[in-house]
Structure 1
């Protein structure tokens, strides 16, 4: 797998030439706080002759230090009330790119510790930012045989705390999950078709503790996933475009104290279906599988870290929303797996149809599970991007709200550089899915783009509750079930909205939530 290999380093002597490292990258909020005499002297001297030193990431000639290269990466925004830990990641990315361009193969990364609580995971965030910077697309790697830029990145810690020696194990597992998620999300629709996505998952989990299964038989899909199969109807005729449902399960050793269940939207390509995307709006729609990709990556991390006490189950719906003579159309009424009669309001609102059937299956498992919480993860709406830009949104049902699921996730994810926004589900959201003719139970969507629809990212959660049967498990039900919908349309990629680098969001935040809940 194409990824960074992090290695824990706790000896200050590692900064010197001859110790096996060939560059020293220092991420610091203050030149005076570095705490290593040799580096501090070089930084102070450099600042006297080059005003960039201490103001922007700068490469210094450093005789005697590893590789003769010292890169000082100042974090200049720590005093900003509205800055968060991502400022460490921002400068680390620039600095590691300088190290790569300078020819380093084994850089040593030292993040000067901060006493400010919101920067408590600065080293981890900086290291993961390096992984984000260094990842290259699967297509490029397969076409050119490209290998990772670095043999390893050393994580220098001068702390006497022995727990810091395990930091690389955690980060390598998180980054392995993020690489898998990026590969799945960012790869073009023929190389990462539904079948190829499923096969890539199976290969990635081969020999691991993750239990896997793939549903591909059309009769079974149409019986058990009728809404999903409607979306896929026009793609069944093309063998390589046929849909899949990937089932994943992580079971820990010992007692199970909590259960987490995930539905992941994996629309491997979205033409919009009969409500065809026009005017260039189809470009980038191979990235509409970011939710399923992030969930798959989460399981890669789980397979390596094997946390105790938690059982994690997922269903990934992998579908191509094709246009053709077999395509499903607006106005059709289709019964969901849970038995809700759904009138199709717009075939380009296909992701919620895929998720509804997955959630219905997970609902059945959750009823008998230990302390279950359900999630859907999806690049679902343009509205969430209009509302929150590059931030994902969490929309929870009243059961989840009662135990602060979304707020807890927001807190955990923000500490690790993946901040969330929390949206509230309201009665107006259920009014939007009312089917006025009486012929069906609910309407899947209105017929306008979500980006210009009031509450366009909130009301799909109301639909998912109704279509999946989860609405019947509210606070007054015999078996209440907590459910949170995560719309990651704004955070799944960075930079260019069509072809920017996938981020694997919200994998890191979700993992922290799982182990700390």
Structure 2
């Protein structure tokens, strides 16, 4: 494989804006500490601010500018770091339907003002609050700054961009910045992989970017690139990419990643990531402009890769994490797979193709089949698939990802536990229930095949359009013949923020999964 960029790992860490713990209030003053040049306060009210100097300035300013404490405002503050004080209020904190993301919103507004004002080393101040909903407000606010400051890989490469800030200080935090910086390193990788255009981040480019990003990480990394191995070991994935085999630069790849923590392994987690580099819809071609943005159909694989990056830095003990990323282009051409074909999965399940635009579940089924085999001899295994899978999940839940679990995972409260963690870390989920009707929906009614991949209509107008694909995955991967816990995560609504076609990738649900792994031992 030809290296695309041998400096990827360095580039990711160099572009990341580091978070630095700051223990002394003296850092808020001009000329003190590490040369901080702005103070950004993210608070639910001016009364929450503990530093007298900041509190007095803010209170005085609020008497002459009614915006202070109500909207993000830059104040001239002689004597404070850089002479800049930015008060970015957390709005609606008493609303019981709000969650910790209100701190993320305020932090992004504040750091954007600091950047626009010319600051390069702002100091972030997030006063603690007693409400348990906001227990992780400091971490969530700091991570939100990373989301705000990230710039696309194409722009960084084309314009030789450097990070917009040198560092962000986190004042008087009761936490340690190692976790935040590790999570953000993973999110930078995930955003790069998800958000970059389909030629720069082809399956080959995506795979090489991962190889470079995990150099010297301690993770086991391998790439399947031989056509014969792909077609025999990943037959459904290869069917999706069949038309792409005629174009060498579009050939599929499978990336395998493995993290093994020190000490006795108490739990093993397996992740299958959907990495459809570009989804034309295949023979069931996307029409009326709906092909735009389909280079982001690799968000699941990107998030899983980012999760593994964070693990490689944090090195939690006692867990093993195995991931397979299926990277393929759903191309149009004379050799494209078509609806009505019957193709045997890696698990030997005969799949009737219902719609070539329902390609992601085919990729995941083969990955899960390989992971299933490993899981059956592993310690306390749990399996997950992560994918931008359906339009229906966006129709049903908007920007929230869905968790759909099998009965074994439900007995272990996997979805409920993950949803609880996500709520506290600013990546909330909706929990969907898998039902018998979902399995009926994927049954091949004439018996020629064991299972049908989908109906022939858009998922967004199909009843239970994001739930029944989990039933297909269970059947086609062979998981239905086991007692293994499996949870499907559909991130079609959360992988990108704002503009669904060209908005900034979020790396969702990397942070929630990272915290879940820490708690799952």
- Report the TM range for the smaller structure's normalisation: over 0.9
CA distance in 2, matches of 1:184, 1:79: 38
**Deviation (angstroms), 1:3:** 1.3
From 34, 40, 52, the counterpart of 2:49: 34
Matches within 5 A, 1:178-197: 178-197=187-206
Matches within 5 A, 1:426-445: 426-445=435-454
Q: TM-score, normalised by structure 1?
A: 0.97
Matches within 5 A, 1:240-279: 240-279=249-288
Runs of 5+ unmatched residues, structure 1: 474-479
From 480, 484, 487, the counterpart of 2:487: 484
SS in structure 2 at match of 1:463? helix
Matches within 5 A, 1:198-209: 198-209=207-218
Matches within 5 A, 1:13-412: 13-19=26-32, 20-157=35-172, 164=175, 167-412=176-421
User: Residue deviations 1:484-514, cap 9 Å, x none?
Assistant: 0000000000000100000000000000101
User: 1:504 is matched with which residue?
Assistant: 507
CA distance in 1, matches of 2:77, 2:355: 62
**Deviation (angstroms), 1:414:** 1.1
**Deviation (angstroms), 1:81:** 1.0
**Deviation (angstroms), 1:123:** 0.4
Any runs of at least 4 consecutive aligned residues in structure 1 with deviations exceeding 4 A, and if so which?
none
**Deviation (angstroms), 1:436:** 1.4
SS in structure 2 at match of 1:374? strand
**Deviation (angstroms), 1:209:** 1.1
CA distance in 2, matches of 1:406, 1:183: 28
CA distance in 1, matches of 2:313, 2:64: 47
User: 2:24 is matched with which residue?
Assistant: 11
User: 2:3 is matched with which residue?
Assistant: none
Runs of 5+ unmatched residues, structure 2: 1-11
Q: Bigger CA drift: 392-401 or 431-440?
A: 431-440
**Deviation (angstroms), 1:113:** 0.5
From 454, 457, 461, the counterpart of 2:463: 454
User: Residue deviations 1:45-101, cap 9 Å, x none?
Assistant: 110111110100100000000000000011121100101000000011010000000
1:419 matched to 2:422: no
SS in structure 2 at match of 1:236? helix
CA distance in 2, matches of 1:244, 1:89: 36
CA distance in 1, matches of 2:75, 2:331: 54
Q: TM-score, normalised by structure 2?
A: 0.96
**Deviation (angstroms), 1:104:** 0.2
**Deviation (angstroms), 1:32:** 1.2
User: Residue deviations 1:349-405, cap 9 Å, x none?
Assistant: 000000000000000000000000000000000000000000000000000000100
CA distance in 2, matches of 1:331, 1:381: 20
**Deviation (angstroms), 1:35:** 1.1
SS in structure 2 at match of 1:87? helix
SS in structure 2 at match of 1:254? coil
From 454, 461, 464, the counterpart of 2:473: 464
